[in-house]
C-alpha cells in the first residue's frame, strides 16, 4: 500500500511522530490519581527515544499555543546545549521534510 502513496506523502508518514512514536514516548493523559499531571518522567536506556519524545512534546505545545512559555533547564549551560543539540538532530530531518525553508508547511504537504 505504501508504494501507492506519492513520495512526499511517504516522507510525511515516515516523519509523523503520531505514527512512528512508541507508546512510551507519548505523555500520559492523566496522572495515576486521575488528575492533570505536573511531572512526566521518562526512564529509558540509550536509544529509547527520550530526547525525541521531549522534543516532540515541546513542539506540540508550541504548535498548539503560540504564547506558551517554554524553558529548557539543566544543571549546567553545557548540559542544556547538549540536550538542545541532540533534540535538534533528532527532529531536524523530519522538520526539514515537513516544512519549507521559511518554517511554514510546504505547498501540497
Over the stretch 56-76, which tens digit does the pLDDT of each residue have? 888 888 888 889 888 878 889
More confident residue, 36 or 14: 36
Name 105's bridge partners: 99
pTM above 0.85, yes or no: no
Name 99's bridge partners: 105
Residues of the chain with pLDDT > 90: what percent?
3
Confidence band (pLDDT; 50, 70, 90) for 105?
very low
> Residue 100 has which C-alpha cell?
519549507
Whether the CB-CB separation of 74 and 54 falls below 8 Å is answered with no
- Spatial separation of the C-alpha atoms in residues 98 and 103, rounded to whole Å: 9
DSSP letters for 69-108: ------SSHHHHHHHHHHHHHHHHHHHHHHB-TTSSBPTT
Amino acid at each position: 500500500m505504501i508504494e501507492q502513496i506519492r513520495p512526499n506523502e511517504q516522507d510525511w508518514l515516515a516523519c509523523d511522530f503520531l505514527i512512528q512514536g512508541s507508546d512510551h514516548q507519548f505523555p500520559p493523559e492523566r496522572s495515576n490519581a486521575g488528575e492533570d499531571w505536573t511531572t512526566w518522567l521518562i526512564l529509558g536506556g540509550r536509544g529509547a527515544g527520550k530526547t525525541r519524545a521531549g522534543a516532540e512534546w515541546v513542539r506540540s505545545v508550541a504548535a498548539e499555543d503560540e504564547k506558551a512559555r517554554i524553558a529548557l533547564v539543566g544543571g549546567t549551560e553545557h548540559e542544556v546545549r547538549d540536550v538542545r543539540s541532540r533534540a535538534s538532530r533528532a527532529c531536524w530531518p523530519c522538520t526539514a521534510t515537513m516544512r519549507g525553508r521559511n518554517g511554514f508547511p510546504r505547498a501540497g504537504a
